[in-house]
Amino acid sequence: MDKLKAMQVFMQIADQGSLTAAARVLDSSLPAVVRTLAALEEDLQVRLFNRTTRRIALTEEGKHYLESCRQILTTVEDAEAALTLDASEPSGQLTITAPVLFGQMYVAPAITGFVQRYEQMRCNVLLLDRVVNLLEEGIDIGIRIGTLEDSSLVAQPVGSVHRMVVASPDFIDRHGEPVHPKDLLKFNCVRFSAATGPWWTFHENGKQFTVPVTGNLDFNQATPAIEACAAGLGFGMFISYQVAPYLKQNKLKVVLEKFEAPSRTINIIYPHARLLPARTKLLIAWLKEALKNLNP
């Protein structure tokens, strides 16, 4: 049995979530994939997947083996690449994830510039507003805002953001400006349910408190909520990077700045501090340069 090939088959099954999908990606037949997996499990004397007629899922042993396979195959790939390619011309594929709006505004342009510079690279960009498990989902690099819960990840800070209350200059001229967060109870507020919802958080004298805001517009996405505020429909609370273009164009104005909560760090995160492929290190350096000092 070709152990390295078997590892590649195993990784594709885990990444694709099914034997059929793995066979399609590998340009192989389903019986061949099934035989390879069976032979690998027989050789290892352990079950790597729990299989039913409807789904396939990694066992605990399979999860540990998957991480080892990624490290081994990355090392082999790097060794082969070092023999044939100049270090300044990396090749291969990388998968990057980031929050949707932040990714659209900052990460996607940076990745576009990266593949323009390194034409042999392929990048898969996943913009998701959820916490992604890099190891389980086969992702090389992530951009995360705020607290990191997984201590196994390497994190490199590149900037910070904070939540702020904004409204259009026209709305403020017509209705006035709040002096204290509690004054928001008297104003129409545009709410972004996926983030702050009806309770907006503030800080005063080192203490945190919330204000229950009300209004006639609720959104589950940031962009339409920001547009509504820019159109003069009320106050809104958003992360600084989300409204940065509107502030520069004077479509929105910040209020209640002295009551804002502490900033949150923007981190580039990745697993496997050791044995990182050269292309991954290169993209991390590229993103650090593109996002450095990001404090919108």
In a domain, 212, yes or no: yes
Q: What is the CATH number of the domain that holds 58?
A: 1.10.10.10
User: Is the distance from CB of 91 to CB of 120 less than 8 angstroms?
Assistant: yes
In a domain, 44, yes or no: yes
242: its two tokens: 């989300």
Do 170 and 137 belong to one domain?
Answer: no
Q: What is the CATH number of the domain that holds 254?
A: 3.40.190.290
Do 97 and 171 belong to one domain?
Answer: no
Do 69 and 101 belong to one domain?
Answer: no
Do 183 and 214 belong to one domain?
Answer: yes
- The predicted pLDDT at position 85 comes to 47
Do 77 and 28 belong to one domain?
Answer: yes
Indicate the residue among 61, 83, 105 that finishes a domain: 83
In a domain, 285, yes or no: yes
User: Is the distance from CB of 15 to CB of 138 less than 8 angstroms?
Assistant: yes
Do 48 and 67 belong to one domain?
Answer: yes
Longest alpha-carbon distance in the chain: 76
Number of domain units in the chain: 3
19: its two tokens: 């034997």
In a domain, 105, yes or no: yes
Q: Whole-model pTM above 0.95? A: no
Do 75 and 93 belong to one domain?
Answer: no
Question: What is the span of the domain harbouring residue 279?
Answer: 89-159+264-291
Query: What Rg, from alpha-carbon coordinates, does the chain have?
Result: 24
In a domain, 54, yes or no: yes
Indicate the residue among 27, 61, 83 that finishes a domain: 83
Distance CA 189, CA 235 (A): 5
Mean pLDDT by 10 residues, the chain (296 residues): 90 89 90 93 92 83 90 76 59 93 94 95 93 85 82 82 96 96 96 80 94 94 95 96 95 97 91 73 91 72
In a domain, 71, yes or no: yes
- The predicted pLDDT at position 81 comes to 59
Do 275 and 153 belong to one domain?
Answer: yes
In a domain, 22, yes or no: yes
In a domain, 296, yes or no: no
Do 219 and 254 belong to one domain?
Answer: yes
Do 133 and 199 belong to one domain?
Answer: no
Q: What is the CATH number of the domain that holds 135?
A: 3.40.190.10
User: E strands within the chain?
Assistant: 49-51, 56-58, 92-98, 121-127, 141-145, 154-161, 163-167, 190-192, 199-204, 207-212, 217-219, 236-239, 253-255, 264-270
Do 104 and 77 belong to one domain?
Answer: no
Do 269 and 148 belong to one domain?
Answer: yes
